[in-house]
Amino acid sequence: MIKVAAWCQDPSDASLRQLTQLGVDCVDALPLPTDDRGVFDLDEALKMKTRVHSWGLQVNRISLPGLSKRFMDEEDGAEEELDAACESVQVLGEAGYPLGRVHFDYSTDPWMIGRYRASHRGGYPARGDSLSLAEGDEPPAIAVREQRWERVCAAYKRLVPIAEAAGVRLMMHPSDPPTQDALFGGLGFHRVIDAFPNPCVGYLYCCGTRAEAGGLPLVLDEIHNYGRKGRLFEIHFRNVRASFATAGAFEEVLLDDGDMNMFKILRELKRVGYDGCLNPDHYPTLEGDGAAGNTHALAYSIGYIKALLAALACE
């Protein structure tokens, strides 16, 4: 059964009440306290889980302590960072948390793009990225990219057996923006499961990010590929206009305001037997949103997803 998840970096009563009222099933990206080494605190993780459950919600995924530039460049303290990530995976397993997102520095470096503020229906603002507006550095040399890939492999070699023993699945998000030389672009993204075919290794598959690279055909093809292999652990469900392939640029939009037919994506997810969560992710600011966050856009996005799921159930 496909479920609905939403970000919850502020686990206050007000936030959890709102998510419950919207009909969300699971919460994402909860902020778990850590000790002075950056390792998740087991007691606090259990308390947080109990708190979320008390609102009728489930915990979906937690972001593991990131592996920063220090780890990727093998600087002093690199192994301590990896130790903290490995021990945090063990804590997630003991606390009964199912998914951990792995994050590496250099995975989202915006090589050769320029970011701008786009305006859409009724004037709502959103992110845009354009290759033609680039003013940044040149992409790293092939040798540098391969060195960084070796560091990714070094981390996974330690993380995977720990995650398997703990009953935790590890997720990788594609590089955003998906420039040609990004560490986890199309080929780099695929290398993760080529190098580590363990079933606990998979993807936080982001429809929007991959559409930035090649639109709906690419997204449907990749869902078919990764989904039939059982490697889709969560879906970031968002829409965009244009892509680097077609326009050298893209803009993020609301779910119903972009180039992709989101219902076709749901049909393909159903076809491959996907049973994880959809998270709307990157929803823009709408009129009336304020200090409490993009609550109008969140509510709109959750309602839109639930309507699509209801239609899918009728087929």
Please name each of the domains of the chain with its CATH number: 3-313 (3.20.20.150)
d(CA 130, CA 244): 8
What is the SS3 assignment for 144?
helix
DSSP assigned state of 116: E
Of residues 8, 25, 21, the one with CA closest to residue 275:
25
Range list of H helices, 111-233? 142-166, 186-195, 207-228
Residue 137 confidence (pLDDT): 67
d(CA 169, CA 99): 5
Instruction: For residue 20, give both structure tokens.
Output: 């419950």
Residue 108 confidence (pLDDT): 78
Whole-model pTM: value is: 0.96
pLDDT in tens, the chain (315 residues): 999 999 998 899 999 999 999 999 999 999 999 999 999 999 999 999 999 999 999 999 999 999 999 999 999 999 999 999 999 999 999 999 999 999 999 987 766 788 999 999 999 999 999 999 887 667 778 898 899 999 999 999 999 999 999 999 999 999 999 988 889 988 889 999 999 999 999 999 999 999 999 999 999 999 999 999 999 999 999 999 999 999 999 999 999 999 999 999 999 999 999 999 999 999 999 998 876 677 899 999 999 999 999 999 998
Residues sharing a CB contact under 8 Å with residue 186, sequence separation 6 or more, in sequence order = 178, 213
Residues sharing a CB contact under 8 Å with residue 176, sequence separation 6 or more, in sequence order = 108, 206, 208, 209, 212
Residue 294 confidence (pLDDT): 78
